[in-house]
Chains A and B, each alone.
Chain A
Amino acid sequence: MSQIHLELTKVGIEFPTPKGPFCALRDVDLKIKKGEFVSLIGHSGCGKSTVLNIVAGLYQATTGGVVLNGREVNEPGPERAVVFQNHSLLPWLTAYENVELGVKRVFKGKKTKAEMREWIEHNLELVHMTHAIHKRPDELSGGMKQRVGIARALAMEPQVLLMDEPFGALDALTRAHLQDSLMEIQNELGNTVIMITHDVDEAVLLSDRIVMMTNGPAATVGEILDVPLARPRNRLELADNVEYNHYRSAVLRFLYEKQKKIESIDAKRAEKQLDKGAAEPAKSVA
């Protein structure tokens, strides 16, 4: 068995609010092996992103801590590269320059200019973005921007790749495309990945393990599901696979039976009502 690479021990976090401290996470324990692909899944607002931000070092845990390769994590750093949900590319830089920013930081003094150039181009090639290497983000589609975001993270050669709902803002077809690309890259590089998702299919398709989180406040790890499906995985073949569907329904059962979110249904209804109210005047204009 390979050794423990990243370890979260009794991680909890409280945010100060006017009504006193709000406990978002409590006692999150997680051990991740090198090269493992772990998904965090849970209802929205359960603190998945908070876990990721603590691992990234963007938030400080109130209790417990994160240890990467035997060293405590207490600030952000390029060895824990983040792929943000809304790409977060610098709009004034081209795809190449966006990747370059990280590469220059990480490989300063270790790679020559020519090597850096080659490395940046190699990473953009990995995400199939060679054709738009000198385009600015506003000239790229949503999926392409996210590809560049992934290239930027990969190019830093992170020990852990943190992905915060990387495909959440994309349409279904683009998302499937990017998932396939990600699996390809993962096969090749064998990165350790933590990915936040709320998409059950995405979690089962991509992960070695799925960490299911309970609802907040004071959210924690509910169940952990191993997904020992053979790789490379093919979404079409897996669609009728008994095992795949078993894992899928296990996650669904956790989310919709054990952690059913009753309050959120009311909230959603109210939200819909609001949406309707907002939609009607817009229609009359059209």
Chain B
Amino acid sequence: MSSKLATLKFEQLKAIKWRDVLISTLMPLIGVLAFILLWHTAAPNINTSLGDFPQPKQVFEQWGNLVDEYKTEQERAEVFYERQEKRNAELLAQDPAAKIDEREFNGRPTFFDKIETSLVTVLSGFFVASIIAIPVGILIGLSQPLYNAINPLIQLFKPVSPLAWLPLVTIVVSAVYVSDSPMFSKSYIISLLTVSLCSLWPTMINTAVGVAGVSKDLINVSRVLRLGWFTHVMKIVLPSAIPMMFTGLRISLGIAWMVLIAAEMLSQNPGLGKFVWDEFQNGSSDSLSRICLAILVIGLIGFLLDRIILILQTYINWDKSAVVR
């Protein structure tokens, strides 16, 4: 009887385990497949000025086209540099004192160059935002009067759309950032600043909340040990605030990536935003598929950026048992 009961339990357990595996691996797959099927069947029914809405297959084909374009550009660059080298060598052979130009290949930025530009821009904007937001967050978390002073500004600027910031930033950058041989393009600086302005707030607020929420007991420990201000912040406050800080950083990076695409469209920073905009203006038969592809890539990169922050968090956070999701 009891052995029968045991086998029954074992079988039940096995069944539960199988169900878990099904739910955790098969269900996401079913979800994605259902979405693709829906897309596939619905697309031909949407007739646009640029033809039917692209089906998944056509979007995937564009991937191949973009890879081909990239390869062609690479080849062109190689040919260009070879030719330049050869010409320079010839010049030097004729006259060792000849002046030679080393020119950069000035090809069209391909889809992959644009992804790179977008990543560089978003990360630099996010970096600028973080090195402002974290110290300010710590300060206003530690001091209630300072918090009261800055909180109205945070509440005022937090909801402002990037599209509202952009014209202002553009005009100011054009006026201030004047240089004969600029290290960075204006469009890059404009996108970077817009991203920073919009992604500053979640990190700042969450850091402040984390810092203000340090347990009273730990503060008493710090007082009894008579820790100096710096040691207090480094040993007690920051470690306590790290989980909240990362929550803020995650939200900020998410916002930064969203804002970037909009900023690039308007500032003409040669990234994914500009890619989408150019395809929209271009209006060829491939444009819709390319925009769809860009959307998928933007989503995927956003997801990966979020994962990177999560990995960073599990690496830095002292509480290894914390569940991150």
Q: Hey, which bits of chain A sit against chain B, CB under 8 A? A: 56-58, 75-78, 80-82, 84, 86, 88, 90-93, 101-102, 105, 136, 138, 156
Contact = CB atoms under 8 A, between A and B. Distances in A.
Contact of B220 (A82, A91, A105, A156): A82
Interface in B308-323: 318-319, 321
Interface stretch (B109-117, B180-188, B223-231): B223-231
Nearest to B217: A88
B221 interface: yes
28 contacts: A56-B224, A57-B224, A58-B220, A58-B224, A75-B223, A76-B220, A76-B223, A76-B224, A76-B226, A77-B226, A78-B225, A78-B226, A82-B221, A82-B224, A84-B217, A88-B215, A88-B218, A90-B221, A90-B239, A91-B318, A91-B319, A92-B318, A93-B235, A101-B235, A102-B225, A105-B225, A105-B226, A138-B319
Which are the 5 A-B pairs with shortest beta-carbon distances?
A92-B318, A88-B217, A92-B239, A76-B223, A76-B224
B310 to A, nearest CB: 19
Contact of B225 (A58, A101, A136, A138): A101
Interface residues of B, number: 16
B236 interface: yes
A58 B239 CA distance: 23
A217 B140 CA distance: 37
B241 to A, nearest CB: 11
Contacts of B217: 84, 86, 88
Interface in B75-125: none
A136 to B, nearest CB: 8
A84 B319 contact: no
Given A101-B235, A138-B321, A90 B224 contact: no
A206 to B, nearest CB: 22
Nearest to A97: B235
A77 B319 CA distance: 29
Contacts of A90: 218, 221, 235-236, 239
Interface string B239-263: 1000000000000000000000000
A81 B236 contact: no
Contacts of B319: 91-92, 138
A2 B226 CA distance: 30
Contacts of A105: 225-227
Interface of B: 215, 217-218, 220-221, 223-227, 235-236, 239, 318-319, 321
Given A76-B226, A91-B319, 7 more contacts: A57-B223, A76-B220, A82-B224, A88-B221, A90-B236, A90-B239, A91-B318
Contacts of A57: 223-224
A273 B18 CA distance: 44
A75 B222 CA distance: 12
A141 to B, nearest CB: 16
A271 to B, nearest CB: 24
Contact of A80 (B215, B224, B227, B235): B224
A93 B223 CA distance: 18
Given A88-B218, A91-B319, A77 B224 contact: yes
Nearest to A156: B225
A82 to B, nearest CB: 5
B224 A78 contact: yes
Contacts of A102: 225
Contacts of A76: 220, 223-224, 226
Contacts of A82: 220-221, 224
B61 to A, nearest CB: 52
Nearest to A88: B217
A56 B218 CA distance: 15
Contacts of B223: 57-58, 75-76
* Best-buried of B215, B224, B236, B319 by chain A (most CB within 10 Å): B224
A90 B215 CA distance: 10
A75 B239 CA distance: 25
Contacts of B226: 75-78, 105
A147 B236 CA distance: 21
A157 to B, nearest CB: 13
B318 A84 contact: no
B251 to A, nearest CB: 23
Contacts of B225: 78, 101-102, 105, 156
B94 to A, nearest CB: 69
* Best-buried of B220, B225, B227 by chain A (most CB within 10 Å): B225
Contacts of A75: 223, 226
A156 B239 CA distance: 23
B238 to A, nearest CB: 9
A56 B307 CA distance: 46
A91 to B, nearest CB: 7
A56 B219 CA distance: 14
A90 B222 CA distance: 10
B291 to A, nearest CB: 47
Contacts of A156: 225
